[in-house]
Amino acid sequence: MAEVLSQAQIDALLGSLQSGDSDLNEVETTSGSKVKDYDFTSPKRFTREQLKIISNIYDSFTRLFSLHLASMLRIPCEMEVVEVEEEKYREFNNALDDSVLIGLYNVDTGPIRIGDDDKVVMLEVNRQISFSIIDRLLGGNGSGYAIDRDYTDIELSLLEYLLKQVSSLMQNAWSNFVEVDHHFGTIETNSRLVQIIQQDEAVAIVVIKVTIGELEGNINVCMPGNTLDAIFKFFDLKYAKGKKSNSEQDQIRKDSITDGLKDSNLDISAVLGTSQISLHELLSLQPGDVIPLNSAVVGNNIVVNVKGIPWYKGSVGIKKKHYAVKLSDIL
């Protein structure tokens, strides 16, 4: 990045040039803001709004995952989304070490079914974080993470158990946005063998900072463009319709709920009236005593309660030698 001069340095330089006693090599420079080149031949595939949505979803995921990991390891764990950016898959793959820990997941959403053989989401865990988790799970204090070797079969079994639980956490995080099912596939420990995504395909990378005790590391989530396009397309079809369409869907949903509740049993009671007496009067009541009510029996003074809630007014009568209440008004 080329260094630039501040406005004060430019003014001082011009003043010294006019006086003739300036030395250009002694001029201090300050680095300006970082500028990234934009490749117009390969435009961005995701909008800022889409990346913001992904960031919000994985904010929820980090909260769930940190609580789950803290309860499993019995140690404070913190996670936060550092950045969400778009880049080519080859750039992400080339930045990985030869020996890594990657969990591969299948994704299904609504009517969109992605084949079971397509590993469409990658979760890459930092080696130090993974070995620290293994150390804690095996009874250690989590300090045995400075290890430079491949994973053993027992260690991979422990990590596979953890990554399988991560799939349900991802599913819960996405559920507030759209129903997305995550199914754990396999574990890969060699980044050069992970060739499930086209090298030139755009991917969204979510960088999550993980703090376990005093150890810090990163977890990276890689989502290919075709998967996100399918999810956002399904989201647009489900939510981004006009008001008329939404109102029709709401009415259909209400009718469906009402039809399901029509067979429910409800308790109905007719209240002839109420009365208020003292505790002394209550204790003195004997068979044959008369308690006056606060309402007359004649007319539409009977209140009909449904599950204890007043719903109708009616009058007392007889039908087929049984007392009955004829409904007159709706409360």
Q: What is the CATH number of the domain that holds 79?
A: 3.40.1550.10
> Given a cut of 80, is residue 308 above it in pLDDT?
yes
- Residue 215 inside a domain? The answer is yes
Least confident of 39-48, 86-95, 134-143, 200-209: 39-48
* Average pLDDT of the residues of the chain: 80
Per-residue pLDDT at 208: 92
> Given a cut of 70, is residue 310 above it in pLDDT?
yes
Per-residue pLDDT at 299: 67
- Considering the domain architecture, whether residues 52 and 116 belong to the same structural domain is answered as yes
Per-residue pLDDT at 150: 85
How would residue 64 be classed by pLDDT, with cut points 50, 70 and 90? very high
- Residue 64 inside a domain? The answer is yes
Parent domain of 18? 1-35
Alpha-helical (H) ranges within the chain are: 7-19, 48-73, 89-94, 127-137, 153-175, 225-239, 243-261, 279-283
Per-residue pLDDT at 38: 60
- Considering the domain architecture, whether residues 65 and 201 belong to the same structural domain is answered as yes
- Residue 40 inside a domain? The answer is no
- Residue 129 inside a domain? The answer is yes
- Considering the domain architecture, whether residues 13 and 154 belong to the same structural domain is answered as no
Per-residue pLDDT at 185: 86
pLDDT tens per residue, range 224-234:
888 888 788 77
Per-residue pLDDT at 262: 84
> Given a cut of 50, is residue 2 above it in pLDDT?
no
- Residue 250 inside a domain? The answer is no
Closest C-alpha to 101, from 129, 78, 138: 129
Report the distance separating Cα 105 and Cα 184, nearest Å: 5
Total structural domains within the chain: 3
Q: Cβ neighbours of residue 5 under 8 Å, at least 6 residues apart?
A: 13, 27, 29, 30
75, 142 Cβ separation under 8 angstroms: yes
> Given a cut of 60, is residue 1 above it in pLDDT?
no
Mean pLDDT of 30-34: 54
> Given a cut of 70, is residue 330 above it in pLDDT?
yes
Exposure string over 41-75, b if 16+ CB within 10 A, otherwise e: eeeeebeeebbebbeebbebbbebbbebbeeebee
**CA dist 40 → 1, 45, 213 (Å):** 21, 12, 44
Is pLDDT larger for residue 133 or for residue 116? Answer: 133
Q: Within a 13 Å sphere around the CA of 322, how many CA atoms are in the beta-carbon half?
A: 4
- Considering the domain architecture, whether residues 53 and 123 belong to the same structural domain is answered as yes
Residues recorded for the chain = 331
Which domain CATH number covers 321? 2.30.330.10
12 SS3 class:
helix
Report the distance separating Cα 296 and Cα 272, nearest Å: 8
> Given a cut of 80, is residue 17 above it in pLDDT?
no
Alpha-helical (H) ranges within 74-104 are: 89-94
Backbone angles phi, psi at 60, to 5 degrees: -65, -40
Per-residue pLDDT at 117: 46
Is pLDDT larger for residue 292 or for residue 242? Answer: 292
119, 185 Cβ separation under 8 angstroms: yes
- Considering the domain architecture, whether residues 172 and 318 belong to the same structural domain is answered as no
How would residue 61 be classed by pLDDT, with cut points 50, 70 and 90? very high
Mean pLDDT of 26-43: 58
Per-residue pLDDT at 81: 92
- Considering the domain architecture, whether residues 203 and 75 belong to the same structural domain is answered as yes
> Given a cut of 70, is residue 273 above it in pLDDT?
yes
Tally of CB atoms within 10 A around 217: 17
Closest C-alpha to 151, from 185, 167, 127: 127
- Considering the domain architecture, whether residues 81 and 121 belong to the same structural domain is answered as yes
89, 222 Cβ separation under 8 angstroms: yes
Per-residue pLDDT at 270: 86
- Considering the domain architecture, whether residues 30 and 56 belong to the same structural domain is answered as no
Per-residue pLDDT at 80: 92
Mean pLDDT of 69-91: 89
- Considering the domain architecture, whether residues 153 and 223 belong to the same structural domain is answered as yes
Per-residue pLDDT at 79: 92
Is pLDDT larger for residue 20 or for residue 181? Answer: 181
- Considering the domain architecture, whether residues 236 and 146 belong to the same structural domain is answered as yes
- Residue 274 inside a domain? The answer is yes
Per-residue pLDDT at 242: 47
Per-residue pLDDT at 221: 92
**CA dist 156 → 73, 125, 188 (Å):** 17, 13, 10
Least confident of 17-21, 209-213, 312-316: 17-21
> Given a cut of 80, is residue 66 above it in pLDDT?
yes
Q: Within a 13 Å sphere around the CA of 91, how many CA atoms are in the beta-carbon half?
A: 11
Is pLDDT larger for residue 31 or for residue 201? Answer: 201
- Considering the domain architecture, whether residues 190 and 326 belong to the same structural domain is answered as no
> Given a cut of 80, is residue 182 above it in pLDDT?
yes
- Considering the domain architecture, whether residues 27 and 62 belong to the same structural domain is answered as no
